[in-house]
Amino acid sequence: MESLMVWIAPLLSVFLGPLAMAGNPDLASSRDLRLGDGAPTISESVRRRALAGETVSGLERAAGVKAAKVWAVTVWDVDVTSAWMAVNDNNGYVGRVGSLRASRVISGGEHASGRTIFQMMDVPIVADRWWVVQHQHNAALYDATHGDAWEIAWKGVPEVILGPENEELARKGTQVAWTEGAWLFVPLDGDRTYVEYYAWSDPGGSIPAGMASRMAGGAVSALLDDVESFAQEKSGQSRRGYVRPDHSAL
């Protein structure tokens, strides 16, 4: 994400258990290594539906929190390196992903773990929403699974120096109250990629968190389609500047 990957996509996991159908190892023993520690648990039946070609999405509630976690599971017809490049090229999101009007790395390497990103999205009727998140690559999980789990997670950064251009945009909108989420990829045979995504956010301002979550749940499939199309653009492009979850050159 990073990131577009917040709940606000519409106004616009979890964890892999056995994937024997696809010949993948059982990754459940590495669940405690997830950076997206709030990711919903995805059932084996949902994983099988995704492996059969369906995009499955839903909401998960947390006690005492009005905002729900939005999740989705699918399989992309693209290799894992291209998928990884897509979710690590935040500067390329505008015009490709949702209704983002700004998506800019404001600190850290352009595709590196630990980078901080400013994003703003057009929202009809109410004030546009903006957020700042920091993205982290999960090196420990990648190493423990011998390259079978590629995770990038993000969490909101409440206070950060935006810079004059971003500050001007931010004054025209409302900052989300909080946000977190993650992408998780597993390479499959035939240059396909198993995908788990979740986002958990409160939009702040006058938008009720519960209503926003319901709307996000209905739009998450379109979000995944956008990012998959971006990943397909990345296929065959230069990997220069990109790194794997363990920070080695892609």
Q: pTM to 2 decimals?
A: 0.87
Report helix, strand or coil for 116: strand
Identify the residue with better confidence: 96 or 218: 96
Amino acid (one-letter) located at 116 = T
User: What pLDDT is stored for residue 27 in this prediction?
Assistant: 64
Over residues 118-135, the pLDDT tens digits come to 999 988 777 789 999 999
How far apart CA 223 and CA 98 sit, in angstroms, is: 6
Over residues 22-47, the pLDDT tens digits come to 444 346 677 789 999 889 888 889 99
How far apart CA 226 and CA 215 sit, in angstroms, is: 17
Amino acid (one-letter) located at 187 = P
The Cα-based distances of 93 to 20, 43, 101, 119 in angstroms read: 34, 31, 9, 10
Over residues 84-114, the pLDDT tens digits come to 999 999 999 999 998 899 999 999 999 999 9
Block residue for tokens 């709030």? 38
Strands 128-137 and 173-175, how do they pair? parallel
User: What pLDDT is stored for residue 210 in this prediction?
Assistant: 43
201's enclosing H/E stretch is strand 192-202
Identify the residue with better confidence: 20 or 73: 73
Confidence of residue 1 (pLDDT cuts 50, 70, 90): very low
